[in-house]
Amino acid sequence: MKLIAPSILSADGGRLAGEIAAVEKAGADWIHVDVMDGHFVPNITMGPAVIKALRKTTRLPFDVHLMIQNPDDYIEAFADAGADYITVHVEAATHLHRTLGQIKKAGKKAGVSLNPSTPLGFLEEILPDLDLLLIMSVNPGFGGQQFIPGSLAKIKRAAGMLAGLPRKPLLEVDGGVNLQNIAAIAGAGADVLVAGAAVFGTRDYTQTIAALKAEANKS
C-alpha cells in the first residue's frame, strides 16, 4: 500500500492546525513538514517550536524534511519537537554517517534526501543505515513546482538499489506529484508520495486523497 504524505508547505499557513486535522480526517497517512533556513534553499519556513505546537493536533507520523545547513546542530531540537522521521540532505551533511547515527540515537527514523542533480552514487556507503530515501523531483525551496521528467528514471534506479538490501528503506518522492503522474511515480518504485498543492490546492481533501491513493495503488 502506497502512503500519501500531504506537505503543509502548501497548506494555509494561518490555520495549519486545522489543515492538518482536515487531511488526517481525509485519509492522509503522514504529514510532511518542510523545514527551510533561507541558506540551503532560498526560502524560510518553520522551526521546532511550530512543529512542537502542531504535534498536539494529530497522531499521524511527522515526516520532517530538513532543508538546512548544519543539520547536526538541530537534530535534537526537532526530535524533541515530535518528529517521527528526520531527513537530511546529503548535500548539507558533511559527515552523513554521524548525522544518521545522531537521528537514531534520538529514537527517530533516519532519512536522506537527494536534490535532482545529485547522483545516487553518493549514497552507496550509507544505504544500509537508512530508514528512508527521499528523492527530490523538483529543486527544493518552493511548493507548487512541476515534476522534473528525468526524475522517473532516477526513482527506478533508486528502487533497484534499495531492493537488494537486507532491510529495505522506504522510498519517498517529493516534488510536483499530482493525479496525472502519481501512478507512474508509484510504478517506478515510490512507497511514500508527498503531495502539496495537489492536496491543499483542492476543495475536497477526502476526494483528492482517495483519488491519489487509487492512482498510486494501480501499480
Q: Which residues are catalytic?
A: 34, 174
Burial of 183 (0-12, 13-18, 19+ CB in 10 A): middle
- At 45, the amino acid letter reads T
Indicate the pairing of strand 31-36 with strand 62-67: parallel
Quote the strand ranges of 9-120, DSSP E: 31-36, 62-67, 85-89, 109-114
The helix (run of H) or strand (run of E) holding residue 4 is strand 3-6
Q: Are 195 and 6 in contact (CB under 8 A)?
A: yes
Of 190, 171, 93, 133, nearest in space to 124 by CA: 133
Q: Report how far Cα 87 is from the mean position of its chain's Cα atoms.
A: 8
Axis-axis angle for helices 205-216, 16-25 (nearest 10) = 50
Instruction: Look up cell 481533501; give the residue.
Output: 205
All three cell numbers of 151, joined, read: 526524475
Count of Cβ atoms closer than 10 Å to residue 14 Cβ: 7
